[in-house]
Structure 1
Amino acid sequence: MSEPVNNSLEIRADIQSQQVELSKSDIFGVLQNDRRRCVLEILRKQGNQSVRSLSEEIARLESGEEDPKSSVRKSIYVSLLQTHIPKMESLGVVSHDREHDTVELLPAARNFDIYMETVKKGDIPWSHFYLGLSTLAVVGSVTIYTGLFEWVTSSQWMLFVSVLFMATSVAHIHNVRKL
């Protein structure tokens, strides 16, 4: 009896070790559905989850209620089991362990990182922030080069901009890991 478990574990380990490159069509096919996006976000933030806990969390998000109706939870549970999880599993994005009823992200889920940047209300995307920071660096460099600011040397400006970009990069990494 232990052989099927060992074979199953070997197959799962082999799948997890493979880095799957998904086509843009596959990526957008997954992301076009709110529930699949929610599954990816929940698993990224909270780690492995049971299908039941995923359906309960998605039901709370969709209904806006802390305790959604059981019919809503059941409908979401069924759609996850019959449609969404199998689609993502066939692409190698998640693995569903039916015996333990857990879903986990696989390495292929990294293909979605660039498309999943969430921006809270009132915040700006990091890409816009970096564009503004780069504009500041260029304008400051040109101003110093032309001699409009003589109280700052080009070496001081270069050091300031380098430290600013490094601090911003550290903040960005910290922010992304919190998500």
Structure 2
Amino acid sequence: MSGTTMPSGGGPAERTTASGYDDEDGEPHGVSEEELFDVLGNTRRRNALHAIATAEERTHELGDLSERVAAWENDVTVAEVDYAERKRVYTALQQSHLPRLDDAGLVEFDKDRGTVDATPALEDVEIYLDVVRGNEIPWSEYYLGLSAVSAALLAAVWVGAYPFTLVPDLGWFAFVVVAFTVSATANRYYSTGMKLGGDDVPPGVE
């Protein structure tokens, strides 16, 4: 098993590892990083993959899958999902999302039978969402922005710009250190349990 760490580009960041071997011919069966970024950029697709990955059975009925995803999206139990909520998710999964996941090689979708199977590629992929909680931006972009703000702040202090001179230089340096420390602590805290397929509910769903 080989690992690949990837920053995100324009959506929730995913840290993924994907590798494996086809049982029949011994050829690698993997999903490219670009394909994963594209597929996982959609919340409903992520939720569907999470439902498939956490279920004990290999084959999933489209109706049952739709109810589970709809329950997460509407913050209700499966029993509380109404017809309109289920139908909306069912149609989107059937017509768009599951065919897309099938094309990516992560699932096998039989539209005629209305069933979905996990593929070996999905079983070999470890996916961690790495987004700032409450904001759909990757931590990498957050840290880049924090670095830019810190650099601008320290430059203003260095040239003696007002009103930054009202606070001692050491105070501003301490502020930057604390900002990065708090951010790193929050990053580590919220990253716990952010693995698709790791818990009963998808990452980001309370």
| TM score, norm. by length of structure 1 | 0.50
Q: Say which structure is richer in helix.
A: 1
Name which structure has the greater RCO, CA cutoff 8 Å, separation 6+: 2
